[in-house]
Amino acid sequence: MRGYFDHNATTPLHPAARAAWLEATDRCWQNPSSLYREAAAVKHRLEEARERLADLLGCDPGRIIFTSGATESNNALVRWLAQQSGPEGRVVSSSMEHPSLAEPLEQEFNGRVLKVPAHADTTLNLEAADRLIQQGNAVLMAVMAANNESGTLNPWRDLAALCRAKQVAYHCDASQWIGKMPLAGLGECDYLTGSAHKFGGPKGTGFLVVRDENERLHLARGGPQEEGRRAGTENYPAIEAMVTALEAVEEALATVVAQQASLRDAFEATLCSLIPGTQIVGREAPRLWNTSLMVLPAHDHRKWLGRLSQAGFAVSTGSACSAGDKGASSVMQAIRAPVEEWRRVLRISGGWKTTQEEWQALAEALGKVSAGL
Ligand code: PLP
Protein backbone atom coordinates (compact mmCIF):
# COMPACT_ATOMS: atom_id res chain seq x y z
CA MET A 1 0.00 0.00 0.00
CA ARG A 2 1.31 3.47 -0.88
CA GLY A 3 -0.77 5.35 1.65
CA TYR A 4 -3.25 4.46 4.40
CA PHE A 5 -5.68 7.36 4.80
CA ASP A 6 -8.49 5.76 6.78
CA HIS A 7 -7.29 6.22 10.36
CA ASN A 8 -10.73 7.44 11.49
CA ALA A 9 -12.07 3.97 10.61
CA THR A 10 -9.26 2.14 12.36
CA THR A 11 -5.55 2.41 13.06
CA PRO A 12 -2.70 -0.08 12.86
CA LEU A 13 -1.55 -1.47 16.20
CA HIS A 14 1.06 0.82 17.80
CA PRO A 15 4.39 -1.06 18.22
CA ALA A 16 4.36 -0.37 21.98
CA ALA A 17 0.82 -1.76 22.20
CA ARG A 18 1.84 -4.85 20.23
CA ALA A 19 4.78 -5.49 22.57
CA ALA A 20 2.55 -5.01 25.62
CA TRP A 21 -0.12 -7.32 24.19
CA LEU A 22 2.39 -10.08 23.41
CA GLU A 23 3.98 -9.85 26.85
CA ALA A 24 0.60 -9.92 28.59
CA THR A 25 -0.69 -12.76 26.40
CA ASP A 26 2.41 -14.88 27.03
CA ARG A 27 2.78 -14.19 30.74
CA CYS A 28 -0.54 -12.96 32.09
CA TRP A 29 -3.12 -15.16 30.40
CA GLN A 30 -4.72 -16.46 33.58
CA ASN A 31 -8.27 -15.49 34.50
CA PRO A 32 -8.09 -12.39 36.73
CA SER A 33 -11.02 -13.74 38.79
CA SER A 34 -9.30 -17.01 39.71
CA LEU A 35 -7.93 -17.38 43.19
CA TYR A 36 -4.31 -18.60 42.84
CA ARG A 37 -1.25 -16.39 42.94
CA GLU A 38 -0.70 -16.02 39.16
CA ALA A 39 -4.31 -14.96 38.61
CA ALA A 40 -4.10 -12.45 41.43
CA ALA A 41 -1.06 -10.95 39.70
CA VAL A 42 -3.11 -10.54 36.49
CA LYS A 43 -5.92 -8.90 38.47
CA HIS A 44 -3.36 -6.56 40.03
CA ARG A 45 -2.00 -5.56 36.62
CA LEU A 46 -5.53 -5.08 35.29
CA GLU A 47 -6.27 -2.67 38.14
CA GLU A 48 -2.99 -0.89 37.51
CA ALA A 49 -3.99 -0.44 33.86
CA ARG A 50 -7.30 1.06 35.04
CA GLU A 51 -5.42 3.49 37.29
CA ARG A 52 -3.07 4.51 34.47
CA LEU A 53 -6.06 5.19 32.21
CA ALA A 54 -7.78 7.12 35.02
CA ASP A 55 -4.63 9.25 35.43
CA LEU A 56 -4.60 10.04 31.72
CA LEU A 57 -8.29 10.99 31.68
CA GLY A 58 -8.29 12.70 35.07
CA CYS A 59 -11.00 10.64 36.73
CA ASP A 60 -11.47 8.18 39.54
CA PRO A 61 -10.49 4.64 38.40
CA GLY A 62 -13.73 3.25 39.86
CA ARG A 63 -15.66 5.18 37.19
CA ILE A 64 -14.05 3.22 34.33
CA ILE A 65 -15.76 0.14 32.90
CA PHE A 66 -13.76 -1.74 30.26
CA THR A 67 -15.92 -2.71 27.28
CA SER A 68 -15.59 -4.16 23.78
CA GLY A 69 -15.46 -0.67 22.25
CA ALA A 70 -17.39 2.49 21.67
CA THR A 71 -20.47 0.84 20.16
CA GLU A 72 -21.08 -1.24 23.27
CA SER A 73 -20.35 1.73 25.56
CA ASN A 74 -22.77 4.04 23.73
CA ASN A 75 -25.56 1.46 23.44
CA ALA A 76 -25.34 0.36 27.06
CA LEU A 77 -25.24 3.88 28.42
CA VAL A 78 -28.27 5.02 26.43
CA ARG A 79 -30.26 1.96 27.55
CA TRP A 80 -29.35 2.60 31.17
CA LEU A 81 -30.15 6.31 31.10
CA ALA A 82 -33.48 5.63 29.38
CA GLN A 83 -34.42 3.23 32.19
CA GLN A 84 -33.52 5.87 34.76
CA SER A 85 -35.20 8.83 33.14
CA GLY A 86 -38.88 7.89 32.99
CA PRO A 87 -41.26 8.47 30.07
CA GLU A 88 -40.88 12.27 29.95
CA GLY A 89 -37.08 12.56 29.94
CA ARG A 90 -35.56 14.24 26.90
CA VAL A 91 -32.12 14.17 25.36
CA VAL A 92 -30.33 17.03 23.64
CA SER A 93 -27.97 15.72 20.97
CA SER A 94 -26.52 16.66 17.60
CA SER A 95 -27.45 15.38 14.14
CA MET A 96 -23.87 14.31 13.57
CA GLU A 97 -23.43 11.67 16.28
CA HIS A 98 -22.11 8.25 15.35
CA PRO A 99 -24.91 5.72 14.63
CA SER A 100 -23.83 3.70 17.70
CA LEU A 101 -25.20 6.58 19.76
CA ALA A 102 -27.82 8.10 17.44
CA GLU A 103 -29.71 4.84 16.78
CA PRO A 104 -30.12 3.72 20.40
CA LEU A 105 -31.11 7.29 21.32
CA GLU A 106 -33.89 7.23 18.70
CA GLN A 107 -35.01 3.82 19.88
CA GLU A 108 -34.91 4.41 23.64
CA PHE A 109 -35.98 8.07 23.71
CA ASN A 110 -38.40 7.75 20.83
CA GLY A 111 -39.58 11.24 19.84
CA ARG A 112 -37.76 12.84 22.78
CA VAL A 113 -34.39 13.58 21.16
CA LEU A 114 -33.87 17.29 20.49
CA LYS A 115 -31.19 17.92 17.86
CA VAL A 116 -28.83 20.87 18.07
CA PRO A 117 -28.61 22.23 14.51
CA ALA A 118 -25.27 22.75 12.73
CA HIS A 119 -23.94 25.82 10.96
CA ALA A 120 -22.83 25.53 7.32
CA ASP A 121 -19.20 25.26 8.49
CA THR A 122 -20.10 22.05 10.46
CA THR A 123 -19.87 23.69 13.90
CA LEU A 124 -22.80 23.40 16.29
CA ASN A 125 -25.23 26.21 16.93
CA LEU A 126 -24.40 26.76 20.59
CA GLU A 127 -27.20 29.24 21.16
CA ALA A 128 -29.63 26.55 20.09
CA ALA A 129 -27.92 24.06 22.43
CA ASP A 130 -28.41 26.48 25.28
CA ARG A 131 -32.06 27.02 24.35
CA LEU A 132 -32.83 23.32 23.95
CA ILE A 133 -31.38 22.40 27.30
CA GLN A 134 -33.63 24.96 28.99
CA GLN A 135 -36.79 23.54 27.43
CA GLY A 136 -37.41 21.29 30.41
CA ASN A 137 -37.19 17.58 31.12
CA ALA A 138 -33.70 17.31 29.61
CA VAL A 139 -31.95 14.44 31.39
CA LEU A 140 -28.94 14.21 29.13
CA MET A 141 -26.89 16.08 26.58
CA ALA A 142 -24.98 13.74 24.25
CA VAL A 143 -22.56 15.53 21.92
CA MET A 144 -19.37 13.96 20.61
CA ALA A 145 -15.92 15.54 21.05
CA ALA A 146 -14.63 15.22 17.46
CA ASN A 147 -16.63 14.22 14.42
CA ASN A 148 -15.60 11.00 12.66
CA GLU A 149 -16.42 12.29 9.16
CA SER A 150 -15.33 15.92 9.08
CA GLY A 151 -13.02 15.94 12.12
CA THR A 152 -14.90 19.00 13.47
CA LEU A 153 -14.08 19.66 17.11
CA ASN A 154 -17.01 20.41 19.38
CA PRO A 155 -16.58 22.67 22.43
CA TRP A 156 -17.18 19.79 24.84
CA ARG A 157 -15.70 21.65 27.82
CA ASP A 158 -18.25 24.45 27.36
CA LEU A 159 -21.06 21.96 26.85
CA ALA A 160 -20.05 20.07 29.99
CA ALA A 161 -20.04 23.35 31.95
CA LEU A 162 -23.44 24.33 30.53
CA CYS A 163 -24.84 20.94 31.56
CA ARG A 164 -23.33 21.21 35.02
CA ALA A 165 -24.98 24.61 35.51
CA LYS A 166 -28.35 23.20 34.43
CA GLN A 167 -27.89 19.93 36.35
CA VAL A 168 -28.20 17.87 33.20
CA ALA A 169 -25.87 14.90 32.63
CA TYR A 170 -23.34 15.27 29.81
CA HIS A 171 -22.13 12.35 27.70
CA CYS A 172 -19.18 12.77 25.38
CA ASP A 173 -18.33 10.17 22.73
CA ALA A 174 -14.63 10.98 22.51
CA SER A 175 -13.71 8.04 20.27
CA GLN A 176 -12.15 10.28 17.62
CA TRP A 177 -10.66 12.81 20.04
CA ILE A 178 -8.77 10.41 22.29
CA GLY A 179 -5.25 9.84 20.98
CA LYS A 180 -5.47 12.77 18.56
CA MET A 181 -6.05 15.66 20.93
CA PRO A 182 -4.95 16.31 24.54
CA LEU A 183 -6.89 14.31 27.10
CA ALA A 184 -6.91 16.97 29.82
CA GLY A 185 -10.35 17.54 31.28
CA LEU A 186 -12.14 14.61 29.60
CA GLY A 187 -12.62 12.89 32.97
CA GLU A 188 -14.82 15.81 34.02
CA CYS A 189 -17.53 14.75 31.57
CA ASP A 190 -20.23 12.83 33.41
CA TYR A 191 -20.06 10.00 30.85
CA LEU A 192 -17.31 9.31 28.36
CA THR A 193 -16.81 6.76 25.59
CA GLY A 194 -13.47 5.64 24.13
CA SER A 195 -12.30 3.00 21.67
CA ALA A 196 -8.79 1.50 21.57
CA HIS A 197 -8.55 0.82 17.84
CA LYS A 198 -8.94 4.49 17.03
CA PHE A 199 -5.59 5.32 18.65
CA GLY A 200 -3.28 2.38 17.98
CA GLY A 201 -4.80 -0.09 20.43
CA PRO A 202 -6.39 -3.43 19.56
CA LYS A 203 -9.89 -3.79 18.08
CA GLY A 204 -12.73 -4.98 20.30
CA THR A 205 -11.53 -3.02 23.34
CA GLY A 206 -12.70 0.26 24.81
CA PHE A 207 -14.23 1.84 27.84
CA LEU A 208 -17.14 3.72 29.31
CA VAL A 209 -16.58 6.23 32.10
CA VAL A 210 -19.65 6.65 34.27
CA ARG A 211 -20.62 9.54 36.50
CA ASP A 212 -20.25 7.79 39.77
CA GLU A 213 -18.47 4.57 40.69
CA ASN A 214 -21.54 3.49 42.64
CA GLU A 215 -23.84 3.81 39.63
CA ARG A 216 -25.38 0.34 39.30
CA LEU A 217 -25.69 -0.07 35.56
CA HIS A 218 -25.33 -3.52 33.98
CA LEU A 219 -23.71 -3.86 30.59
CA ALA A 220 -23.81 -7.64 31.01
CA ARG A 221 -25.01 -9.81 33.87
CA GLY A 222 -23.71 -13.13 35.11
CA GLY A 223 -20.47 -12.46 36.95
CA PRO A 224 -18.70 -10.13 39.35
CA GLN A 225 -16.27 -8.61 36.85
CA GLU A 226 -16.02 -4.81 36.56
CA GLU A 227 -17.72 -4.55 39.98
CA GLY A 228 -20.66 -6.51 38.61
CA ARG A 229 -21.32 -3.87 35.95
CA ARG A 230 -20.04 -5.92 33.01
CA ALA A 231 -19.84 -9.64 33.50
CA GLY A 232 -17.42 -11.70 31.44
CA THR A 233 -13.71 -12.50 31.71
CA GLU A 234 -11.70 -9.32 31.23
CA ASN A 235 -9.44 -9.21 28.17
CA TYR A 236 -6.42 -8.10 30.16
CA PRO A 237 -3.84 -8.28 27.30
CA ALA A 238 -6.03 -6.04 25.11
CA ILE A 239 -6.68 -3.62 27.98
CA GLU A 240 -2.94 -3.44 28.72
CA ALA A 241 -2.25 -2.80 25.03
CA MET A 242 -4.94 -0.09 24.87
CA VAL A 243 -3.55 1.83 27.83
CA THR A 244 0.03 1.45 26.56
CA ALA A 245 -1.01 2.77 23.13
CA LEU A 246 -2.71 5.78 24.69
CA GLU A 247 0.30 6.61 26.86
CA ALA A 248 2.52 6.41 23.78
CA VAL A 249 0.38 8.57 21.49
CA GLU A 250 -0.40 11.12 24.20
CA GLU A 251 3.30 11.59 24.89
CA ALA A 252 4.11 12.28 21.23
CA LEU A 253 1.06 14.44 20.59
CA ALA A 254 2.49 17.93 21.05
CA THR A 255 4.83 17.60 18.05
CA VAL A 256 2.44 15.52 15.93
CA VAL A 257 -0.49 17.95 15.97
CA ALA A 258 1.26 20.97 14.44
CA GLN A 259 3.36 18.93 12.00
CA GLN A 260 0.52 16.81 10.67
CA ALA A 261 -1.95 19.71 10.45
CA SER A 262 0.44 21.57 8.15
CA LEU A 263 0.90 18.46 5.96
CA ARG A 264 -2.87 18.02 5.72
CA ASP A 265 -3.35 21.72 4.91
CA ALA A 266 -0.69 21.56 2.18
CA PHE A 267 -2.41 18.46 0.77
CA GLU A 268 -5.74 20.31 0.63
CA ALA A 269 -4.14 23.30 -1.09
CA THR A 270 -2.46 21.07 -3.71
CA LEU A 271 -5.64 19.13 -4.25
CA CYS A 272 -7.80 22.20 -4.76
CA SER A 273 -5.36 23.47 -7.38
CA LEU A 274 -5.15 20.07 -9.14
CA ILE A 275 -8.92 19.53 -9.13
CA PRO A 276 -10.68 22.90 -9.36
CA GLY A 277 -14.14 22.86 -7.84
CA THR A 278 -13.17 20.60 -4.91
CA GLN A 279 -14.74 21.79 -1.66
CA ILE A 280 -13.28 21.00 1.75
CA VAL A 281 -16.13 20.54 4.21
CA GLY A 282 -15.64 22.48 7.46
CA ARG A 283 -12.31 23.90 6.31
CA GLU A 284 -12.71 27.00 8.46
CA ALA A 285 -13.97 25.14 11.53
CA PRO A 286 -11.71 23.86 14.30
CA ARG A 287 -10.82 20.38 13.02
CA LEU A 288 -8.79 17.30 13.88
CA TRP A 289 -5.31 17.62 12.36
CA ASN A 290 -5.63 14.38 10.39
CA THR A 291 -9.02 14.69 8.69
CA SER A 292 -10.13 16.13 5.39
CA LEU A 293 -13.72 15.68 4.23
CA MET A 294 -14.12 16.79 0.65
CA VAL A 295 -16.78 17.11 -2.00
CA LEU A 296 -15.26 16.35 -5.41
CA PRO A 297 -16.63 18.20 -8.44
CA ALA A 298 -17.86 15.11 -10.32
CA HIS A 299 -18.43 11.32 -10.24
CA ASP A 300 -19.70 8.96 -7.55
CA HIS A 301 -17.34 8.58 -4.58
CA ARG A 302 -17.20 4.78 -5.01
CA LYS A 303 -15.57 5.34 -8.38
CA TRP A 304 -12.91 7.56 -6.83
CA LEU A 305 -12.43 5.12 -3.99
CA GLY A 306 -11.99 2.16 -6.38
CA ARG A 307 -9.45 3.98 -8.57
CA LEU A 308 -7.50 5.18 -5.54
CA SER A 309 -7.51 1.68 -4.10
CA GLN A 310 -6.06 0.36 -7.39
CA ALA A 311 -3.36 3.01 -7.10
CA GLY A 312 -2.54 1.83 -3.56
CA PHE A 313 -4.37 4.42 -1.42
CA ALA A 314 -6.98 3.61 1.22
CA VAL A 315 -9.60 6.31 1.76
CA SER A 316 -13.26 6.33 2.78
CA THR A 317 -16.60 7.62 1.55
CA GLY A 318 -17.47 8.82 5.06
CA SER A 319 -18.09 6.86 8.20
CA ALA A 320 -16.99 3.22 7.79
CA CYS A 321 -20.16 2.04 9.47
CA SER A 322 -22.41 3.67 6.87
CA ALA A 323 -20.14 3.21 3.85
CA GLY A 324 -22.15 0.27 2.59
CA ASP A 325 -25.67 1.55 3.06
CA LYS A 326 -27.79 4.04 1.22
CA GLY A 327 -27.70 6.57 4.07
CA ALA A 328 -25.49 9.52 3.32
CA SER A 329 -22.96 11.32 5.42
CA SER A 330 -24.64 12.69 8.54
CA VAL A 331 -22.46 15.80 8.32
CA MET A 332 -23.61 16.56 4.76
CA GLN A 333 -27.20 16.15 5.89
CA ALA A 334 -26.73 18.27 9.00
CA ILE A 335 -25.22 21.19 7.08
CA ARG A 336 -28.02 20.86 4.52
CA ALA A 337 -25.63 20.33 1.61
CA PRO A 338 -27.40 19.71 -1.73
CA VAL A 339 -28.41 16.04 -2.03
CA GLU A 340 -26.52 15.59 -5.28
CA GLU A 341 -23.26 16.37 -3.42
CA TRP A 342 -23.72 13.57 -0.90
CA ARG A 343 -22.39 10.95 -3.32
CA ARG A 344 -19.29 12.93 -4.16
CA VAL A 345 -17.85 12.95 -0.65
CA LEU A 346 -14.48 11.43 0.24
CA ARG A 347 -12.98 11.27 3.71
CA ILE A 348 -9.23 11.29 4.01
CA SER A 349 -7.78 10.58 7.46
CA GLY A 350 -4.04 10.46 7.97
CA GLY A 351 -2.12 9.12 10.94
CA TRP A 352 0.47 10.17 13.48
CA LYS A 353 3.32 9.13 11.20
CA THR A 354 1.95 9.91 7.74
CA THR A 355 4.75 11.52 5.73
CA GLN A 356 4.75 14.56 3.49
CA GLU A 357 5.55 12.23 0.56
CA GLU A 358 2.45 10.14 1.30
CA TRP A 359 0.19 13.21 1.52
CA GLN A 360 1.58 14.65 -1.70
CA ALA A 361 1.41 11.26 -3.48
CA LEU A 362 -2.26 11.04 -2.52
CA ALA A 363 -2.95 14.52 -3.93
CA GLU A 364 -1.21 13.54 -7.18
CA ALA A 365 -3.09 10.23 -7.34
CA LEU A 366 -6.38 12.10 -6.93
CA GLY A 367 -5.31 14.45 -9.72
CA LYS A 368 -4.54 11.48 -12.00
CA VAL A 369 -7.81 9.74 -11.17
CA SER A 370 -9.65 12.97 -11.95
CA ALA A 371 -7.98 13.24 -15.36
CA GLY A 372 -8.84 9.61 -16.16
CA LEU A 373 -12.49 9.55 -15.13
N1 PLP B 1 -18.15 6.59 17.95
C2 PLP B 1 -17.43 7.24 17.03
C3 PLP B 1 -17.35 8.73 17.04
C4 PLP B 1 -16.74 6.50 16.05
O5 PLP B 1 -16.01 7.16 15.12
C6 PLP B 1 -16.84 5.09 16.06
C7 PLP B 1 -16.19 4.29 14.99
O8 PLP B 1 -16.11 4.70 13.84
C9 PLP B 1 -17.59 4.47 17.06
C10 PLP B 1 -18.24 5.26 17.98
C11 PLP B 1 -17.69 2.97 17.14
O12 PLP B 1 -16.48 2.46 17.63
P13 PLP B 1 -16.17 0.92 17.84
O14 PLP B 1 -15.62 0.41 16.57
O15 PLP B 1 -15.17 0.87 18.97
O16 PLP B 1 -17.44 0.24 18.25
Instruction: Give the domain CATH number at 359.
Output: 3.90.1150.10
DSSP H or E stretch at residue 102: helix 99-108
Domain end position, chosen among 248, 263, 294: 248
Residue 227 and residue 125 share a domain? yes
Query: What ligand 1 atom has the least distance to the C-alpha of 196?
Result: 15
Residue 257 and residue 211 share a domain? no
Residue 291 and residue 181 share a domain? no
Residue 240 and residue 181 share a domain? yes
Residue 322 and residue 207 share a domain? no
Per-residue confidence (pLDDT) for residue 327, from 0 to 100: 64
Domain end position, chosen among 248, 265, 296: 248
Sequential DSSP letters for 23-74? HHHHH--S-TTS-SHHHHHHHHHHHHHHHHHHHHHTS-GGGEEEES-HHHHH
d(CA 254, CA 318): 27
pLDDT digits (tens, 9 = 90+) for 310-346: 999 999 997 544 444 456 899 999 999 999 999 999 9
Residue 268 and residue 242 share a domain? no
Give residue 363's domain range.
Answer: 3-11+253-372
Query: What ligand 1 atom has the least distance to the C-alpha of 144?
Result: 3
What percent of the chain has a predicted confidence (pLDDT) above 90? 95
The answer, yes or no, to whether residue 39 has pLDDT greater than 60, is: yes
Residue 188 and residue 94 share a domain? yes
Distance 256 CA to ligand 1 centre (A): 22
Q: How many contiguous H segments (helices) and E segments (strands) does the chain have?
A: 10, 12
As for ligand 1, residues whose beta carbon falls within 6 Å of it are 69-71, 98, 100, 144, 148, 173, 175-176, 195, 206, 320-321
**291-295: strand order across its sheet:** 279-281, 291-295, 345-349
Residue 203 and residue 288 share a domain? no
The protein residue with its alpha carbon nearest to ligand 1, atom 7, reads: 9
Per-residue confidence (pLDDT) for residue 326, from 0 to 100: 52
34: left (phi > 0), else alpha (psi -120 to 50), else beta?
A: beta
What percent of the chain has a predicted confidence (pLDDT) above 70? 98
CA R_g for the chain: 21
Mutate to test the pocket of ligand 1, among 10, 103, 148, 150 (most ligand atoms within 8 A of CB): 148
Residue 351 and residue 337 share a domain? yes
The protein residue with its alpha carbon nearest to ligand 1, atom 5, reads: 148
pLDDT digits (tens, 9 = 90+) for 195-219: 999 999 999 999 999 999 999 999 9
Residue 307 and residue 158 share a domain? no
Work out the average pLDDT over 108-116.
96
pLDDT digits (tens, 9 = 90+) for 129-171: 999 999 889 999 999 999 999 999 999 999 999 999 999 999 9
Q: What pTM value is reported for the model?
A: 0.97
The protein residue with its alpha carbon nearest to ligand 1, atom 16, reads: 71
Q: Which of 211, 229, 213, 209 is nearest to 221 (CA)?
A: 229
Could you say which of 28, 163, 189, 321 is catalytic? Answer: 321
Q: Answer whether 174's CB lies under 8 Å from 187's CB.
A: no
Distance 166 CA to ligand 1 centre (A): 28
Residue 265 and residue 191 share a domain? no
The answer, yes or no, to whether residue 59 has pLDDT greater than 50, is: yes
The protein residue with its alpha carbon nearest to ligand 1, atom 12, reads: 70
Query: What ligand 1 atom has the least distance to the C-alpha of 68?
Result: 15
Instruction: Give the domain CATH number at 102.
Output: 3.40.640.10
167 residue type, one letter: Q
Domain end position, chosen among 248, 278, 312: 248
| Mean pLDDT over each residue of the chain, to the nearest integer | 96
Distance 34 CA to ligand 1 centre (A): 32
Distance 90 CA to ligand 1 centre (A): 23
Per-residue confidence (pLDDT) for residue 136, from 0 to 100: 81
Distance 151 CA to ligand 1 centre (A): 13
Give me the number of domains the chain comprises. Answer: 2
Residue 233 and residue 342 share a domain? no
DSSP H or E stretch at residue 113: strand 113-116
Per the annotation, the verdict on 59 as an active-site residue is no
